Structure 1
Amino acid sequence: MNAFSKIIAIIITVILLFLTPVLYMAQKQDIISQSYVSNETTKFIDSIKNSGYISPEIYMDFVKKIDATNNLYNIEIVHSHKVVEPLYDENTGTFLEDYDTYYYNTYQDEILEVFDQGKDYEFFQGDYISIIVKNRTKTIATRLMELFYSSDIPDEQILITYGGVIRDEMD
């Protein structure tokens, strides 16, 4: 019985002295990665808002910078263009003195298709751009927490959302 209690004490000591600090350091690394990706995402979107376009080089530079965290990310970019249309009576064709306003969204796949043609993707002043960046691979902290807690932890530990209105447009 005395040997069993010593083994349990050694296991608890190993957990407290080694696994807990490693888990803590891995979680701190996730916080640092979150902060870094947030800063790079903010710079990327602010650059787009100020210039009115995205070039393939700017996009690839952003992807390379966030890939430096050794995580893989899903990036979702949405461009919303406000459309205002006058309303007309369908029967007479007369103007009803009212307008219909809606947003036409362009998603990342369509933006990347423009890049494939070797062109920059352009915005108009007043358009809205938003981005969601989330990790798609498990971080070291997530793996350690799953081991430590013996449960499944969601992969998305790094999640950034940002957006804004385009202030300038390409000439």
Structure 2
Amino acid sequence: MYGAIGKILEWMIGIILAIFVPILLVGIKCDQIIQSNAQEVVEEFVTKAAATGQIDQASYMEFISKLDATGVVYDVEFTHEHLVYEPTVNSSKTAVSNSYEDGFVSYYYATGTDEILYNIYNKGLEDKPYYMSYGDSFYCTAINKTPTLGSKMLTLLSFSGEDNKIIAKYSAFVSRVNEKVN
């Protein structure tokens, strides 16, 4: 009796694995292709923005349409960091030179996604780009919001509630400056 039940279980497990494993492999391969395409789109957008020193409506809409072509919905985040130097005056005398020290303080002023998109879309009816300065850094991150076949299968296999995210990140320094700076 045990031999018959064992054979039935072996066949059922074999059939499940024969169906599940190929679907899992196809899902993982599709996720890798989507990841590669998303990374390429993000790199292209950031490189173009850093090379021109600006982000305009046309380039942003082209970026979003290329990301949409992957078939996955993304949460896109931008960060623009501008290095600011401010002069400081130290009113205390130093012990060595008995003079006042003058210097500067440097810090990064960061602008996020909301401010960048507000500047692009709410400056009037015409297309007004968001300008960046030479040497600034620009970051872009795209994280998928919809589960893919591969992430669903891996979640099922690992018994965890976490989805594997497709994350595309890229950053670059601004290498060209246009006539206006934000």
| TM-score, normalising length: structure 1 | 0.89
Residue 106 of structure 2 aligns with an amino acid whose one-letter code is: T
Shift of 1:155: 4.4
- 1:152 matched to 2:153? The reply is no
CA separation in 2, counterparts of 1:112 and 1:52?
15
Q: Are residues 1:106 and 2:111 paired?
A: yes
- Runs in 1 of length 4+ with deviation above 3 angstroms? none
CA distance in 2, matches of 1:15, 1:64: 39
Instruction: Give the one of 163, 170, 177 matched to 1:162.
Output: 170
Indicate the residue corresponding to 1:6 in structure 2. 7
Alignment of 1:1-171 (within 5 A): 1=1, 2-89=3-90, 96-117=101-122, 118-156=127-165, 158-171=166-179
Q: Deviations over 1:23-47 (max 9, x none)?
A: 0010011111111111111111110
CA drift at 1:163:
0.6
Contact conserved, 1:78 with 1:107, CA < 8 A, in 2? yes
Q: Which amino acid aligns with 1:139?
A: T
Q: Secondary structure at the match of 2:175?
A: coil
| Counterpart Cα distance in 2 of 1:62 and 1:14 | 43
1:115 alignment partner AA: I
Percent identity, please. 30
Tell me the number of residue pairs that the alignment of Structure 1 and Structure 2 aligns. Answer: 168
Q: How well do the aligned residues superpose, as a CA RMSD in angstroms? A: 1.9
TM-score by length of 2: 0.84
